[in-house]
Structure 1
């Protein structure tokens, strides 16, 4: 078990949360029990995850996508009221780390996703160095990369193939980072992997020859919270359970 504030301080320091300009508050978003025995991790602070954490008898939840984002209305009505009310009713702490959890060099989403794909970063690119860049293993052509993504994530990516060039350098950034594609191209990537694709990226891929793989926002961001949870088990002795609430996006 650990004191809530001690856990908060540990996470803030581990993820260097204060150095990021983010779209919402990182850290403790909803205050619950002062002492934490069991932590549940998940991708998004949805009602389904909160209810699953209650069933798992969690004292705290750690997510990548929290409740509060820049530009929101701010009123506790509808779905927001339901989520917050459930947390408060059961006295559960909610911790959320967005960009800090993407960027961590070993425990973050990009580092952990890359590790599962056999990609090791030797460079960074993009805003706040969120994008990862590294060599493609010799055995992987584009078809092999698609097959590996499918095996690792359990879903086939949306693929725009580019010009069929050999894959020497890969760039990747989990989640909704399709806007990083131009930066990946400028950084010398032959293939870019992220969670989502928007209309312009198909044209960029065709016109530049750099392949684009949209692998799923949720699917590509399941790994950072798991790694953090395992870290907290080994370092702080917390009980930990990862709960994967399926999401087709």
Structure 2
């Protein structure tokens, strides 16, 4: 067992949220009970995740996508009211880390995705963008099949790059706009979660392969690594709940 404050202090020490200009508050977003025995992690603090966390007897929900985003409507009505009511009625803590979790060199989404995909020598390229190499060069068809198999969902391939892919860049989530930086670095392929209409033309006209592999699917792994680290550090129980999302 640990206290909420002990866990928050450790998370802040690991993730250094003050170093980031983010679109949402990082750290504790909704306060619950002070003693923590069981932590549930998930990608997004959806109603489905909260309901499963309550059923699981969790004391804390730790996610990548929490609440109170810049520009969202402020009134506590509808979906927002229902989610907050679930947390408050069940004395359940909600903790969220967005960009700090993308960027972390050990627990971060980008670092963890490299491990899942078997990308070697993963390292930052520019800002949140990372780069690395494949152990063996693959064709675009081979690589899209590899990504799809590892992430358990179909990955979309567009673009006209080299016959064999060796050097790749990636950034999880909605980071399709970083493809320009991958092009500028002369890499063979770029991987992210989502795709926009202009991304296809960039990939085709700039000679790079692009793989849209799912916002949710590419960001499942950082929060799991963080939950495992907390369980090891504090002896609390940890369970990752994957609420399916096709996007």
For Structure 1 versus Structure 2, the TM-score category normalised by the shorter chain is over 0.9
Counterparts of 2:13 and 2:103 in 1: how far apart (Å)? 14
- Structure-2 separation of matches of 1:63 and 1:29: 11
Aligned to 2:173: 175
Contact map agreement 2:138 2:166 (CA 8 A) in 1 = no
Report the 3-state secondary structure (helix = DSSP H, G, I; strand = E; otherwise coil) of the residue aligned with 1:137: strand
The separation in 2 between residues aligned to 1:164 and 1:135, in whole angstroms, is 14
Separation in 1, partners of 2:131, 2:161:
20
Residues 33-69 of structure 1 show CA distances to partners (whole Å, capped at 9, x for unaligned) of 0111100000000000000000000000000000110
Offset, 1:185: 1.1
**Which residue of structure 2 aligns with residue 229 of structure 1?**
227
Aligned to 2:125: 125
**Partners of 1:198 and 1:115 in 2: CA distance:** 26
Match of 2:86 in 1: 86
Q: Counterparts of 1:122 and 1:213 in 2: how far apart (Å)?
A: 18
Q: Does residue 95 of structure 1 match 2:108?
A: no
- Determine the C-alpha separation between the residues in 2 that align with 1:121 and 1:36: 36
More strand by share: 2
Q: What CA distance in whole angstroms lies between the structure 1 residues aligned with 2:81 and 2:189? A: 42
Assess if the C-alpha contact under 8 Å between 1:41 and 1:243 holds in 2: yes
Within-5 A mapping of 1:1-249: 1-126=1-126, 129-249=127-247
Gaps in structure 2 of 5+ consecutive residues: none
- Contact 1:26 1:96 survives alignment (8 Å): yes
Deviations 1:5-51 (A, max 9, x none): 11111001111111011110000000000111100000000000000
* Structure 2 CA distance for aligned equivalents of residues 123 and 107 of structure 1: 13
Give the conservation status (yes or no) of the 8 Å contact 2:39–2:239: yes
- Runs in 1 of length 4+ with deviation above 6 angstroms? none
2:111, 2:122 within 8 Å by CA — same for their partners in 1? no
Judge conservation of contact 2:137–2:165 (CA < 8 Å) in 1.
no
Q: Number of residue pairs matched? A: 247
- CA RMSD after TM alignment: 1.1
Deviation at 1:121, TM superposition (A): 4.2
Distance in 2 between residues matched to 1:225 and 1:145, nearest whole Å:
25
Give the match's secondary structure for 2:135.
coil
CA contact (8 A) 1:165 1:190 kept: no
TM-score of the aligned structures, taking structure 1 as reference length: 0.96
- The separation in 2 between residues aligned to 1:120 and 1:139, in whole angstroms, is 12
Displacement after TM superposition at 1:148 (Å): 1.1
